Amino acid sequence: MSDNKIVQNKKWVLRADNLTRRYGSGCAYCSTITGPDHDTNQCQICNTVIACSGISFELGEGETLGIVGESGSGKSTVMQLVNLSVPADEGELWYRQSGEYDKEPLNLLTLDKFKRRTFRNQQLGIVHQRPELGLNMNFTVGGNVAEKLLMAGWRNVGNIRQRASQLMELTELPPTRLDDDPHTFSGGMLQRVQISKALSSNPSVLLLDEVTTGLDLSVQARVLDLIKRLQWELKIAMLVVSHDLGVIKQLATRTLVLKNGQIVEHGLTDQILEDPQHPYTQLLVSSTL
């Protein structure tokens, strides 16, 4: 773990150590000629693309960590790694139940496919930028919200519907629309449906991947307000990925700045925005409207 962390958080629920993912075989030169200083992710010698490398962070209970960067920065890859949808080439990912800080943490990247699926279903919730990625548009809204419950073994339709209605109320959706076709919902409403679904298993970590990108500004604002309210009510740990510093500023207490697959700066969001150290961060901050 890097020593110049400003805040040491001993009560982490998620910890990443040197996560690395590459596309290609790799060679001896890869690490020396790729990265933010070389302005590229791709090794000129062996053509390997290093999507992300050396990613380390701790996510505290109830904390929201932001990950900001442009396309190619590796932020989506980090999300995929944390969501256990792709394997890591190097590094480790640890998990602890909140409150159980003295117990052995769980090594997530070594889980077998069944445990991985169960963990992803129970302890993680993910919201994607595009609703089609997180929802099945052929099922009703209720069916979508209920999917994780059904995966977890809920077998009573009455109870399932009740829980789904509660989850819809939580995200300010009208529960009377439980049986509606998702095509009749607007973009902002579909994001709320995704959030309801993600929260249905009472996960420890919520992953938000560019969730407001593409929405109208007023809709964005309302979804952000919802997320802030949920942060306050549920005190759930969140990982927020965005290219938009404005979103990060609203949601994240601490932030990682990614460029060409590596962390170039990290710390309290306010401090980074007020006094960015790395030239890239300075560029990002200055170009924020």
Partner 1 sequence: MGYVATKGGTEAVLKAEELVEYFRLRGETEPIKIEQIKSQFRLAVDRAMSEGSLYAPELAALALKQSEGDAVEASFLLRAYRSTLPRLTYSLPANGTRMRLIRRISSTFKDIPGGQLLGPTRDYQPRLLNTLLTHESRGTMRRFLAKFEKQVQSNETDEQSGTFPKVIESMREQDLLAEVFSVGAGDIDEPFDVTRKATSFPAPRSARLQIMARGDAGSLLALAYSSIRGYGDVHPTLGELRVGYLPVEVAHPLTGESVEIGEIMITECEMVSRVKASGSEEVELSPKFGLGYGFSFGHGEDKAVSMSILDRAISAAKAGKTHGQSGPAADEEFVLQHIDAIEASGFTAHYKLPHYVTFQADISVLERAKDHAAVKNAEQAEKHRRLQQKLAKDAQENTLPD
Partner 2 sequence: MLQPDPVEQLEPDEGFRLDALIGQLSGSENEEPAPEQAQIRETLYNFGFIDEDSKREVRRKTLKAVAIPGHLVPFASRDLPVAKGWGTGGLQLTFSIIKPDDLLKVIDQGDDDSVNAVNLRRLIQRTTGVPITTDTTAASIVQTRHRVPEEPLHEDQILVLQVPMADPLRWVQPYIERSTEMHAEMDYAPIWVYMYESVVHSGDMDISSQYPVMVEGRYLMDTTPCPRYDAPSLHMSETLYLYGAGREKRIYAIPPYTRVEPLEFEDFPFRTEHKPEQSCEKCGNSNTYLTRHYIEGKHGGEGRWAFFCSDTSYCQKQILIKTGKKAEKVSGE
- Site residues, partner 1 (CB under 8 A): 42, 47, 49
224 binds, among partner 1, partner 2, none (CB under 5 to 8 A by kind): none
Which among 61, 51, 57 has a CA at the least distance from the CA of 24? 51
Q: What is the size of the binding site for partner 2 (CB under 8 A)?
A: 21
Q: How do 64-68 and 262-268 pair as beta strands?
A: unpaired
Residue range at the interface with partner 2 (CB under 8 A); choices 94-102, 122-130, 152-160, 242-250: 152-160
| Residue 214 CA to its chain's centroid (Å) | 17
| Residue 162 CA to its chain's centroid (Å) | 28
Residue range at the interface with partner 2 (CB under 8 A); choices 19-27, 65-73, 122-130, 151-159: 151-159
113 binds, among partner 1, partner 2, none (CB under 5 to 8 A by kind): partner 2
Who's near 220: CB < 8 A, 6+ residues apart?
188, 212, 247
Q: Looking at beta carbons only, is 41 or 200 nearer to partner 1?
A: 41
Which tokens sit at 262? 């590596």
Q: Looking at beta carbons only, is 9 or 40 nearer to partner 1?
A: 40
CB of 198 to partner 2, least distance (A): 14
Cα dihedral sign for 107, 110, 113, 115?
Answer: negative
Residue range at the interface with partner 2 (CB under 8 A); choices 36-44, 154-162, 204-212, 241-249: 154-162
Does 146 participate in binding partner 2 (rule CB under 8 A)? yes
Burial of 151 (0-12, 13-18, 19+ CB in 10 A): middle
Q: Looking at beta carbons only, is 32 or 156 nearer to partner 2?
A: 156
1 binds, among partner 2, partner 1, none (CB under 5 to 8 A by kind): none
Which tokens sit at 224? 């952000």
> Exactly one of 44, 150, 166, 186 binds partner 2 (CB under 8 A); which one?
150
Q: Which of residues 168-187 bind partner 2 (CB under 8 A)?
A: 179
- The secondary structure of residue 176, as a DSSP letter, is G
CB of 148 to partner 2, least distance (A): 8
**Per-residue b or e along 82-113, where b marks 16 or more CB atoms closer than 10 Å to that residue's CB:** bbbeeebeebbbbbbeeeeeeeebeebbebee
Burial of 133 (0-12, 13-18, 19+ CB in 10 A): exposed
Q: Looking at beta carbons only, is 71 or 218 nearer to partner 1?
A: 71
Does 114 participate in binding partner 2 (rule CB under 8 A)? yes
Q: Looking at beta carbons only, is 75 or 197 nearer to partner 2?
A: 197
CB of 74 to partner 1, least distance (A): 14
Does 123 participate in binding partner 2 (rule CB under 8 A)? no
Does 155 participate in binding partner 2 (rule CB under 8 A)? yes
Query: Does residue 253 contact residue 240 with C-beta atoms inside 8 Å?
Result: no
Which among 260, 266, 281, 279 has a CA at the least distance from the CA of 73? 260
Residues near partner 2, by CB under 8 A? 113-114, 117, 121, 136, 139-140, 142-144, 146-148, 150-151, 155-158, 160, 179
